[in-house]
Chains A and B, each alone.
Chain A
């Protein structure tokens, strides 16, 4: 007795579904949102920003000196460093100049 899908279309649809599930599993396997692990004072006039990266993802580290513009949330963010997409995890240590003003940092995934 021959076993298998009588309808090739059904087999094709099941194959697509299996692929989609695998992709979903891979996406969900990625650890949470990007995270700055540490901001530390460094030498006399610098700070170091530490973060870990995951494979095949591009990260953008930005800073702003204010989180509001004319009282409205949303400051102007300036690019500080882009961690390129590489097929391995890594750890980055980004130096920044310490200023007399406050400075906020954010890390984004840009793919």
Chain B
């Protein structure tokens, strides 16, 4: 078993270290807010973090909000993964171009993480933007970052969703290869055990 696991883990770690793009998906609703609310609103989106270009590509569509939109941000970091609340990490007072005063809409933009305007000054604090980027990257990877849409009915946020990592196709292929390798080993052992 060790003979198989070691190369797989090594290959996985090497690929992870060199990966430049990290994909996240997000599903937003009122039940995910903290405290939860009864909003009928829903939304879904994607976040793509490129650690070589230092960009955050955002895309979301939402509908059925009870109030009209007032602001939207990515918040981080919560004290524990996939629970709790946190301060705003990205652009304040809201993403530039985010549809305001509506109950449904779509939005997409790309944040340049090397610009001050992409960040909430309170999140950056006295640190460098590179440090802030690294911190947010870690928050997204650890499940402590969420996308929140504030509305007139719910000033603390009407719908939100935590960013969930989407496995890269190459990772999936690697996992598939590993599974095939393990199956082959088991098959070989069973065969050799036969009298």
Interface of A toward B, CB cutoff 8 Å:
37-38, 40, 42-43, 48, 50, 52, 81, 83-84, 86-95
Interface string of B41-79 (1 = CB under 8 A from A): 000000000000000000000000000001101010011
* A90 and B156 contact, CB distance less than 8 A: yes
B78 contacts which chain A residues (CB < 8 A)? 88
> Is B106 located at the chain interface by the 8 A CB criterion?
no
> Is B182 located at the chain interface by the 8 A CB criterion?
no
| Total chain B interface residues with beta-carbon distance under 8 A | 25
Give the A-B contact count at a CB cut-off of 8 A: 60
* A91 and B152 contact, CB distance less than 8 A: no
Q: Which residue of chain B lies nearest to A94 when distances are taken between CB atoms in the complex?
A: B155
A48-B85 in contact given A88-B34, A92-B156 (Cβ < 8 Å) = no
**Within the assembled complex, what's the spacing in Å between the Cα atoms of A89 and B12?**
36
B34 contacts which chain A residues (CB < 8 A)? 86, 88
A43-B122 in contact given A88-B78, A88-B86, A89-B86 (Cβ < 8 Å) = no
A89 contacts which chain B residues (CB < 8 A)? 85-87
**Within the assembled complex, what's the spacing in Å between the Cα atoms of A83 and B35?**
12
